[in-house]
Amino acid sequence: MWKPASLLILTLSTITLAQSPQELVQDALQKQQAGDLAGAVPEYRQFLKIHPEATAIHSNLGAALAGLGRFEEAVAEYKIALKQAPSHTGTRLNLALAYYKMGRIAKATALLVRVHTEDSNNHQAVLLLGDCYLRMGQEKDVIRVLEPEIKTHPDDLAIAYMLGTAYIRDKQVEQGQVLVDRILRNGDSAEAHLMLGSAKMGIQDFAGARDEFAKAVALNPNLPEAHVLYAQALHLTGDSDQSIKEFKAELNADPYNFESNLQLGAMARQEQDYDEARRYFMRALKTRPGDPAVRYQLAAIALDLGKVDEARRELESLVKETPEFTEAHVSLSMAYYRLKRPADGKREREIVEKLTAEAQAKQPGAKAQ
């Protein structure tokens, strides 16, 4: 749904070394612009070995990695670029986008607020910020940032949907309805239904999303991501059988679709079909090397199969990289206990309790009374 905010074109006027680095980076740029992201990445990396100070190349590499779904690596590159050039709004927006795609909405929001402050005319930033606020249930913030936008972009359906949804959730139903009607008047396209479905997923209206995605798939079964989004909505509304069919339909079109491989692997693991699960997970890892969710699943399979030390190693690595990964702490605690390391198990268990308490404190019931 979202594309990187900017691709930085480096003129390399300052590079006066051998011809080869310049050719290298120009070739990488051409590949990136032509969509050959996998081809661009190694060339960027090679160039950065020689010129680690090339801020724009770090940013470009981040964009290429993000395009490949390798968000953790992309984030690392964007952070280097921002450290070297803290005022670069485009890189900050790209970093925010990477966090958004990783589901780390709070981090994305913080970055987007800064981008929006520095560049209030950045349409993509404000759209993304509105979506983040909506996902976090901050309707008044959605309204605050999107009301000016709808005036300058009255035909933008994404803005109309997000703002309309925020109005409705904020009990401003009549104003919301006006915008919903505007969306519905704009023809019946697969893309429109996909967008509406995505927005509904964002506000956890899973049944509404499911119906929108069903229409999108019916109108254009070849639309990228349509099957996988439909499958997710079906799964969330309890129709696992149909969900599996849709995930598989996505894989027929795109065998390396990350989400489909991850979800089908998780379902196979739930059925204790570990070989099948591993096949899906390994394919998912090819799309997103090092993805924490996939690595966790593989570690959990190892734990299930009694390969406790193998599981421990992977889980230790995961919690080091992602300290707030509660499930990994749970499994690591269990692994330590099984390895007769109760002190370590207890330590991990205490982390689980702390993370659980923190998550509970954010629930509305903690504030309702």
Interface positions with another protein (CB under 8 A):
168-169, 203-208, 234, 237-242, 266, 269-272, 296-297, 300, 304, 326-331, 333-334, 337-338, 345, 349, 352, 356-357, 360, 363-366, 368-369
From the CB of 338, what's the least distance to another protein, in Å? 7
Q: Which two tokens stand for residue 182?
A: 């505007």
Smallest separation (angstroms) from another protein to the CB of 154 = 25
What is the per-residue DSSP string for 3-28?
Answer: --S--PPP--TT--S-HHHHHHHHHH
A 10 A CB-CB count for 346 gives 13
Measured distance CA(287)–CA(284) in Å, rounded = 5
Residue 10 Cβ, how far from another protein at the closest point, in Å?
A: 44
Cβ closest to another protein, residue 56 vs residue 199: 199
Distance, in Å, from the CA atom of 248 to the CA atom of 246, rounded to the nearest integer, reads: 5
Which is nearer to another protein, 155 or 174 (by Cβ)? 174
How distant is the alpha carbon of residue 190 from its chain centre? Answer: 22
Q: How far apart (Å, rounded) are the C-alpha atoms in residues 223 and 158?
A: 18
Give whichever of 44 and 230 is closer to another protein, judged by the CB atom: 230
Cα atoms found within 13 Å of the Cα of residue 48, Cβ hemisphere only:
20
Q: Based on the number of CB atoms within 10 Å of its own CB, is 89 exposed (0-12), middle (13-18) or buried (19 or more)?
A: middle
Phi and psi angles of residue 69, each rounded to the nearest 5 degrees, phi first: 85, 10
Give the integer Cα–Cα distance in Å for 344 and 364.
33
Residue 112 identity (one-letter amino acid):
L
Could you tell me the smallest distance in angstroms from the CB atom of residue 36 to another protein?
A: 36
Q: Closest CB to another protein among 239 and 316?
A: 239
The answer to whether residues 90 and 6 touch, using CB atoms and an 8 Å cutoff, is yes
Burial 209-228 (b: 16+ CB within 10 A, else e): bbbbbbbbbebeeebebbbb
Choose between 92 and 210: whose C-beta lies nearer to another protein. Answer: 210
The minimum distance between CB 237 and another protein, in angstroms, equals 5
Q: Which residue's CB is nearer to another protein, number 110 or number 173? A: 173
CB of 176 to another protein, least distance (A): 11
20 vs 204, which CB is nearer to another protein? 204
CB of 361 to another protein, least distance (A): 9
